[in-house]
Chain A
Amino acid sequence: MLCDHCKERDAVVHLTQIVENAVTQLHLCEKCAAAKGIETTIAMPKHPLGEFLHAVQQQASPSAGDQVRCAYCDTTLRDFRTSGRLGCAQCYTAFEGALRELLRRVQGGTRHAGREYVPPVAVGTERDATLEALRSRLQQAVVDEEFESAAALRDQIRALE
């Protein structure tokens, strides 16, 4: 297909324009597209983290979901979208839905296929302490009628159990 503009070079940019409900298709070569100020190359972030943040930011625009808070470390989904860093291991449970979608995009899947790990026996006490702390926070949240964080806490307790 030849460029609609110069009719000389091959069209490589295919642009769909919608002007006042009328749809027009424009096929341009790279040179004419550049002359018209149409960006033909998307700047490729050079580092994995850059690409990753790019993907994070491309995900759902700011929404109510951004207020979801990890009950353990207080990080919000919005914090995560800004920094690209999770606050603690429990964040993986608190933001599971958003993370699952993100992992599919940046990692190509969500299921670990590497080494399995069984923590040393002593970890039980560590986990029990965490569980105990979470349970008392859950009780308090119920008393305070903070049902959203109570639900998050309940999920985390289930995950740990």
Chain B
Amino acid sequence: MTLDLSLLPDGGMPWITASGAHADIVLSSRVRLARNVAGFAFSPRARDGERLRVLQQVREAAQHTESLSHAVLLRVDEMTANERRLLHERHLVSRELAELDTPNARSGSAVLVGNEAALMVNEEDHLRLQVFRSGFDIGGAWERAARADRELGERLPLAFHREFGFLTSCPTNVGTGLRASVLVHLPGLVLTQEIGKVLTGLQQMGLTYRGLYGEGSEVVGNFFQISNQTTLGRSEDELCDHLARVVSHVISREEEARRVLIRDAGYIIEDKLWRAYGTLRYARSLGVDEAMNLLSGVRLAVGLKLVGGLSVYTLNKLLVFSQLGHLSLAEGRALTESEASLARARYVRGVLAGEAGSA
């Protein structure tokens, strides 16, 4: 099969528009629910036949929901490695489901992409329902995820235990199965060296953080994904409200750090950020981490209104489309890392030339 990303509603990235609250600091808010279909072994333990039966049941159930009836089904198990990479770069498929290092993903691996929600099938759990929202909107994400979850649960028998709640492959997800996360850009706190305190504080508040691509990914470009650590013992509303309260505090700390930077080191910051812009605008080769860090600088410059004429939407697009899978797609062939560095620089130059930044 050939993957046609244009078929996906919003390209599968409703968050990219930067239309939500605090979009210059918060890229996206996400709620993920882990569920398993009763009567089958969990996906990693299930035989291929069982995994395919799970997929079949999920498809049938999804057709009868409002949230997913018009969703596009993508068979991850029929995709090339680069196609899987593309979906991973769009946050639609986790690293685990994408199995980037193998020629073929396991039978029954799939993702359903709808207008509001996306549903991974046969990941670590049979179902991983995800709702992404632009900017800071955990409440909106939870509301939509809850609706899709209720609709699916009315059709599919889910594994549920009276004491432990929704049963999951890994006990770190059991109970609500809910992981709410907010992807934030915190260069101000990093530059003022306040970030250590903030991150320690998060852990004391029962939250945790990871990099741009979730579990196992490094923090680059000052992007932090903040999420709840535990899933059992508190209600979904409590988990979401707690995260939202803490993140709202982190956003004010970031805004305060930015004010301090401009007040105390205005010209140094301005110089640093314009240099980042200059490099992106004219470099002939850009590594992936380098591009990420420079884009972080330009993002801060746009947030501080130092650079005009560039939208946050463009910056979001650059983050996704400057990655290996997307560059390979644009070039029509699988690129090596060094070829990708040249293609990345060319792509970024092109976009920035079209949307020239001005002082």
List B residues at the A interface (Cβ < 8 Å): 36, 38-42, 44-45, 124, 146, 153-167, 169-172, 174-176, 178, 208, 210, 215-216, 229-236, 238
Contact = CB atoms under 8 A, between A and B. Distances in A.
Interface string A113-141: 11101011011001101100000000000
Contacts of A127: 38-39, 157
A87 B168 CA distance: 9
A127 B159 CA distance: 11
A103 B164 contact: yes
A7 to B, nearest CB: 31
Contacts of A120: 153-157
A86 B234 contact: no
Given A47-B216, A89-B36, A120-B155, A52 B170 contact: yes
Nearest to B234: A113
Contacts of A119: 38, 153, 157-158, 160
Q: Shortest 7 CB-CB distances between A and B: which pairs?
A: A112-B165, A123-B157, A109-B233, A89-B159, A114-B176, A87-B45, A107-B232
Give the size range of A's interface with the partner.
35 or more
B164 A92 contact: yes
Given A114-B176, A120-B154, A52 B171 contact: yes
Given A46-B210, A49-B170, A114-B166, 14 more contacts: A52-B170, A85-B45, A103-B164, A106-B171, A107-B231, A110-B232, A112-B175, A113-B175, A115-B236, A119-B38, A119-B157, A119-B158, A122-B157, A126-B39
B170 A117 contact: no
Contact of B169 (A46, A86, A108, A111): A86
Contacts of A102: 171
A99 B45 CA distance: 19
Given A75-B45, A107-B232, A110-B164, A115 B171 contact: no
Given A89-B159, A114-B234, A117-B166, A107 B41 contact: no
B216 to A, nearest CB: 6
A73 interface: yes
B177 to A, nearest CB: 8
28 contacts: A47-B215, A49-B172, A49-B215, A52-B172, A73-B41, A75-B45, A88-B40, A89-B161, A107-B171, A107-B172, A107-B175, A107-B232, A107-B233, A108-B232, A110-B232, A112-B161, A112-B163, A112-B232, A113-B232, A113-B233, A114-B175, A115-B146, A115-B176, A115-B235, A117-B160, A119-B38, A123-B38, A123-B157
Contacts of B229: 48
Contacts of B45: 73, 75, 85, 87-88
Nearest to B210: A47
Nearest to B44: A85
Given A47-B216, A48-B208, A115-B236, A86 B171 contact: yes
Q: Which of A112, A117, A123, A127 has the most CB of B within 10 A?
A: A112
A51 to B, nearest CB: 9
